[in-house]
Amino acid sequence: MIELFTASTPNGRKVSILLEELGIPYTVYPVDFGKLEQKEEWYLKINPNGRIPAIIDKDNGDFTVFESGAILLYLAEKTGKLLPKDLKEKSVVIQWLMFQMSGLGPMQGQAGVFLKYAPEKIPFAISRYQNETKRIYSVLNRRLGETKYIGGNGFSIADIATWPWINVHEWVEISLDGFPNLKRWEEELAKRPAFIKGKDIPNKVEYKTDEEKIKKKGQSILVK
Ligand SMILES: N[C@@H](CCC(=O)N[C@@H](CS)C(=O)NCC(=O)O)C(=O)O
């Protein structure tokens, strides 16, 4: 049994999608950003970085794991699934996982912050992060012209790490039309039952207006 601390964001969705793919039983603990629960003392014992996602593995002495990439690796190693055994093939998957963690996530995340949450519009910051996100999309698009999946010809945790970010491309006002291989891959994975279910965990939150959404979701980001 895994306890999952998460919120409805791309980094959180990676873990719920993986747990659904693996068919491991898990309990979801939604972390309320509006109440800054992720900064509370009890939660910092689980994730010292004060962010989601994090897991507790109840079957392994209440072992805690934070950082979404580390969680994907831990669960893949634990189950022996979605990560090749061969050293070179495994390294390729890890390379693309690291690329997602250090490139796609941070750049697209900052593009979103400067577009949607910044109290003043800073055109240089918006174009810098949007352009860098587009550059990363083109790297992925090229890769997916050469291999069926991001980590090679087998579906792996590299796909699960990348998909939730590409799935929210509209949030950063980037179209997938210029990235046909990436678009095809995004649409194909979107049909997998585990992606359909995992994407909406915790349950989809309906906001009445964009202002309400920005206020609730942006609040913690703007706290220094
Ligand atoms: N590198 C971390 C990033 C985690 C992260 O930035 N999580 C965001 C949601 S996607 C968060 O918890 N934001 C709330 C906050 O910054 O207080 C990971 O991949 O786990």
Q: What is the pLDDT of residues 64-117, one digit of tens each?
A: 999 999 999 999 999 999 999 999 999 999 999 999 999 999 999 999 999 999
Q: Which of 34, 67, 28 shows the shortest CA–CA distance to 197?
A: 28
In terms of DSSP bridges, do strands 2-6 and 26-30 run parallel, antiparallel, or are they unpaired? parallel
Q: Region of 62 please: left (phi>0), alpha (psi -120 to 50) or beta.
A: left
Helix (H) or strand (E) holding 30: strand 26-30
Return the ligand 1 atom nearest residue 221 CA. 16
Mutation probe of ligand 1 site: the residue of 11, 37, 72 with most atoms within 8 A of C-beta? 11
Residue 53 CA, ligand 1 centroid: distance in Å:
7
3 state SS of 64 = strand
pLDDT at residue 203, rounded to an integer: 77
Token pair in block for residue 131: 């352009």
Q: Which residues pair with 55 in a beta bridge?
A: 4, 65
Q: Which residues pair with 57 in a beta bridge?
A: 2, 63
Residue 220 beta carbon below 6 angstroms from any ligand 1 atom:
yes
Residue 52 beta carbon below 6 angstroms from any ligand 1 atom:
yes
Q: How confident is the prediction for the chain on average, in pLDDT? A: 93
Return the ligand 1 atom nearest residue 39 CA. 17
Residue 118 CA, ligand 1 centroid: distance in Å:
17
